[in-house]
Amino acid sequence: MGYYDEISEGYEELHKEEQLKKVALILSKIKISPKDTLLDVGCGTGLYLDMFRCNVTGADPAPKLIRKYKGKHKILLARAEELPFPDNSFDIVTSITAIQNFEDVEKGLNEIKRVGKRRFVLSILKRSPKLSLIEKLIKEIFLVNETIEEDKDVIFFCTKK
Ligand SMILES: C[S@@+](CC[C@H](N)C(=O)[O-])C[C@H]1O[C@@H](n2cnc3c(N)ncnc32)[C@H](O)[C@@H]1O
């Protein structure tokens, strides 16, 4: 069982408030139309998915976390490194405090780029030892239009190069 499955019972109690704050900040920065399709990679329990007012899909490899989701959107069991979608499937792809957990960050970021049409929001835990590697890869793979530092994460607002 993976770490996130192990802590699935307490995950929302531990992290809900801070994650909702990050998503509120993201929503203040991007325009989402109800017709947009959005994929959230590493969505965990999906605690903020209903805040995105469009056609949302979540993906996460921890079965116990995704079982906690009781909202109206679809969540499927998948790793960032192998996203089960054709190229250019989603108007927006987000990944919130999850990239530092990918086994293969470069592969995961390239998959995110492949399945997204144009817009990407990538939020990374600042205290992750992988932060500078992830930042370097994001700048290589995407065009970074804006970077925001909040309490716990750095958030990259990107488009396709
Ligand atoms: C800190 S949690 C964040 C969850 C959610 N985005 C949130 O903000 O509440 C990190 C998430 O990354 C997921 N994760 C771990 N390895 C992953 C991978 N290879 N691909 C996609 N997600 C992964 C975990 O299962 C976990 O749900």
Q: What is the DSSP string of 13-77?
A: HHHHHHHHHHHHHHHHHS---TT-EEEEET-TT-TTGGGS-SEEEEEES-HHHHTT--SSSEEEE
Domain that holds residue 103: 3-9+33-160
pLDDT band, very low/low/confident/very high, at 9 (cuts 50, 70, 90): confident
Tell me if 72 is assigned to some domain.
yes
Confidence of residue 5 (pLDDT cuts 50, 70, 90): confident
Share of the chain above pLDDT 70, in %: 99
**Half-sphere exposure (Cβ direction) of 6: Cα atoms closer than 13 Å:** 3
Q: For residue 88, how many other CB atoms are within 10 A of its CB?
A: 12
Q: Does residue 25 form part of some domain?
A: no
Q: Can you tell me which atom of ligand 1 is nearest the CA of 15?
A: 9
Does the structure show a pLDDT above 90 at 12? no
The residue nearest atom 17 of ligand 1, judged by CA position, is 102
* Tens of pLDDT, residues 98-126: 999 999 999 999 999 999 999 999 999 99
Q: How far is the CA of 43 from the centre of ligand 1 (A)?
A: 6
| Dist CA 92 CA 120 (whole Å) | 6
**For residue range 122-145, what is the model confidence (pLDDT) as tens digits?**
999 999 999 999 999 999 999 999
Domain contains 67: yes
Q: What is the pLDDT of residues 69-94, one digit of tens each?
A: 999 999 999 999 999 999 999 999 99
Is residue 19, in this structure, part of any structural domain at all? no
pLDDT of residue 10: 81
Give, for ligand 1, the residue of 1, 4, 110 to mutate: max count of ligand atoms closer than 8 Å to Cβ.
4
60 ligand 1 Cβ < 6 A: yes
Tokens (6 digits) for 124 = 């990374």
- CATH number of the domain at 78, please: 3.40.50.150
Task: Judge whether 24 lies within some domain.
Answer: no
Q: According to the model, what pLDDT value does residue 158 have?
A: 98
Any domain includes 14: no
pLDDT at residue 1 tops 70: no
Q: Which atom of ligand 1 is nearest to the CA of 65?
A: 27
Instruction: Tell me, yes or no, whether 16 lies in a domain.
Output: no
**Total domains present in the chain:** 1
pLDDT cut 90: percent of the chain above it: 90
Query: How much distance in Å is there from the Cα of 35 to the middle of ligand 1?
Result: 26
Ligand 1 centroid to 2 CA: how many Å?
A: 11
**Residue nearest ligand 1's atom 10 by CA:** 98
Which residue has the CA at smallest separation from atom 25 of ligand 1?
A: 62
pLDDT of residue 7: 82
- H or E stretch including 95? strand 90-96
51 CA → ligand 1 middle, Å: 18
- Ligand 1 atom with least separation from CA of 19: 8
CB 93 within 8 A of CB 116: yes
In a domain, 28, yes or no: no
**SS3 of residue 94 by DSSP:** strand
